[in-house]
Amino acid sequence: MLTFASMRSAVTAPGFDGIARVMYWLMTRNVASRVISYTDPLTGARSLPGAIVASPSFATDGTGDTTQNYVFHWVRDAAIAAAEIAASGSRAGDPLVDLRMAQYAEFAATCQAATDDLATAVFTIDGRPRQGWSLQHDGPALQALMLLGAAERLDGPARDAARGVVERDLAFVVERAHDPATNLWEEVSGQSLFTRAVQLRALRAAPDNALGAAIPAGAPDVEAWLAARIPDHVDGNGRYLSVLDAQLRPDYDPNIDVVLACLHGAIPATDPHLLATVAELRRIWTDPASPFRYPINDIDAAEDLGPLVGRYPGDVYDGDNDPTDTTRDVVGHPWPVCSAALAELHYRVAAAIANDAAPPADDLSRPFFAQVGASGVATSEAVAALCRAGDRILRAIVSHSDHLSLSEQFDKESGFEKSVRELTWSYAAFLSAVRARRRVRPGGGG
């Protein structure tokens, strides 16, 4: 039986594999099947198998925790969660995982058939486009990557469905890569580094794919063009800018979506511009002199936990207000998604150093390594320091969770969970970080 005492014990002496197993089952409650089904709170429609609900929260669900309705299938969020489901089973085949992958592929095909524009970012849980939502270009690339990676789990009609979905997704990337679109956080329209990075990774993964999906004409040229655009996002300080050619809110950079562009896209973990950006992200939420510092990080630091991080310093969304109201004081809070992404970045850098046997030593990267005590030390000590840094962040997420249930955000003052509950992406981000940790220390996760 999971008790508060046992959970705190796991946090103190990290047992991340065991924690991840619990979070996996909490996440998969949001995956519709023939056994688990959801009802659309607006229309009464029943979910189709394979729909991945972003969160079971909606404004009138009786909890009073949020004004938002997340009972929808976001293409981006669903692909990220589905990747964790695919990674959860044995490579020899896990019948339940394979079934979920088949249902995911077939639901993706249903959604594609219901729209003429694959920039449609959100679908109802019965496979219809959500009306009045922004157009986004990252979902098709992430969906294609997920299905290409899960090819060995698919056969028969599900494999045929996945092949068709991937071919349409890749064609969309080639046709629309040059176009601006709404960014990852669904707030501004422009040229997004995250979108470009995941599109580039999808095109690089496409040749000789195991699904037998056809590669669209012009793919190599678009791939080369996207690769050449990544440096355009570097600012005068050597850090990445998240969105170009956009009307940005104040203090929109540094933005954690740059880290997500590494985890889900084609930005290397040891990219000096990325590490310079991460060092600044960490500073703004921990430095006592920063106006954006989260008070909860001061409390956690005394317990050797954290830090928790948010989306960007000028965030005004807390899950309960109108995010278009820019007259409000800054009220942004840390997110499990963002914090787990930061932890995973540390593990990925550790793995890269362990493989190359030498940490980067350039001026842009130096502040990142100095923050975690990984500069000027032996390679093995640098790897250990980076792993400890990631562990502190994951322990903070667990410590502030509601008995391992994860919401969208943590309150920056109290650390209590807030906004929509049981956010699928929060679980997926934690699971992905734990998998990255295992790659540093084979055979161990906790």
Rounded Cα gap, residues 259 and 13, in angstroms = 27
**Nearest C-alpha neighbor of 56 from the set 406, 438, 444:** 406
The strand pairing partners of 234, in sequence order, are: 240
E strands, 45-91, in order: 73-74
Pairing of strands 189-192, 243-244: antiparallel
In a domain, 317, yes or no: yes
Amino acid at 289: A
Band (12; pLDDT cuts 50, 70, 90): very low
Q: Are residues 39 and 68 in the same domain?
A: yes
173 φ, ψ (degrees, to nearest 5): -60, -45
Residue 162 — φ and ψ, nearest 5°?
-65, -40
Percent of the chain with pLDDT over 70: 90
| Residue carrying structure tokens 């009464």 | 44
Shared-domain flag, residues 45 and 172 = yes
Q: What percent of the chain has pLDDT over 90?
A: 82
Number of domains comprising the chain: 2
pLDDT tier at 263 (50, 70, 90 boundaries)? Answer: very high
Residues 123 and 255 in one domain: no
Report yes or no on 241 lying in a domain. Answer: no
Per-residue pLDDT at 442: 44
The whole-angstrom separation of Cα 155 and Cα 320 is 43
CA distance 166 to 213: 7
Q: Side chain identity at 197, as an amino acid letter?
A: A
Query: Any idea which of 73-82, 319-328, 395-404 has the lowest mean pLDDT?
Result: 319-328
- Residue 421, strand partner residues: none
CA–CA dist 57, 40 (Å, integer): 11
- Asked whether the predicted pLDDT for residue 39 surpasses 60, the reply is yes
Q: Give the model's confidence band at 443: pLDDT under 50 very low, under 70 low, under 90 confident, else very high.
A: very low
Q: How do residues 67-114 score in pLDDT, each as one tens digit? A: 678 999 999 999 999 999 999 976 667 899 999 999 999 999 999 999
What pLDDT, on a 0 to 100 scale, did the predictor assign at position 323?
A: 53
User: Which range among 28-42, 60-74, 205-219, 330-344 shows the weakest confidence by mean pLDDT?
Assistant: 60-74
- Among the listed residues 429, 393, 369, 409, the one whose alpha carbon sits nearest the alpha carbon of residue 306: 393
- Answer whether 20's CB lies under 8 Å from 88's CB: no
What's the pTM?
Answer: 0.93
Q: Are residues 200 and 259 in the same domain?
A: no
* 143/295 Cα distance (integer angstroms): 37
Region 327-349 average pLDDT? 89
- The phi, psi pair for 272, rounded to 5°, reads -60, -35
- The structure tokens listed for 320 are 């309960």
Average pLDDT over residues 123-137: 96
Task: Name the token pair of 166.
Answer: 């991937």
CA distance 74 to 69: 12
On the question of pLDDT at 224 being above 80, the answer is yes
* Residue 112 placed within a domain: yes
Say what the pLDDT of residue 378 is. Answer: 86
Q: Does residue 293 sit within a domain?
A: yes
Assess whether 257 and 135 both reside in one domain: no
DSSP 152: G
The SS3 of residue 429 is helix
Handedness of CA 63, 67, 72, 78 (dihedral sign): negative
Task: Give the residue from 166, 31, 173 showing the smallest Cα distance to 109.
Answer: 166
Please report the pLDDT score of residue 133 as a whole number.
Answer: 95
Task: Please indicate, yes or no, if residue 51 is contained in any of the structural domains.
Answer: yes
Question: Is residue 437's pLDDT more than 90?
Answer: yes
CATH number at residue 122: 1.50.10.10
Pure H helices in 285-422: 295-301, 336-356, 366-371, 379-400
Quick one: 398 and 305 in the same domain? yes
**If you average pLDDT over residues 7-18, what whole number do you get?**
58
Q: Helix axis angle, 193-205 relative to 219-229, nearest 10°?
A: 140
Domain ranges, residue 114: 31-233
Q: Do residue 19 and residue 40 come from a single domain? A: no
- Tally Cβ neighbours within 10 Å of residue 261: 30
Identify which of 24, 15, 11, 14 has the alpha carbon closest to the alpha carbon of residue 428: 24
| pLDDT band at residue 13 using 50, 70 and 90 as cut-offs | very low
Same domain, 267 and 228: no
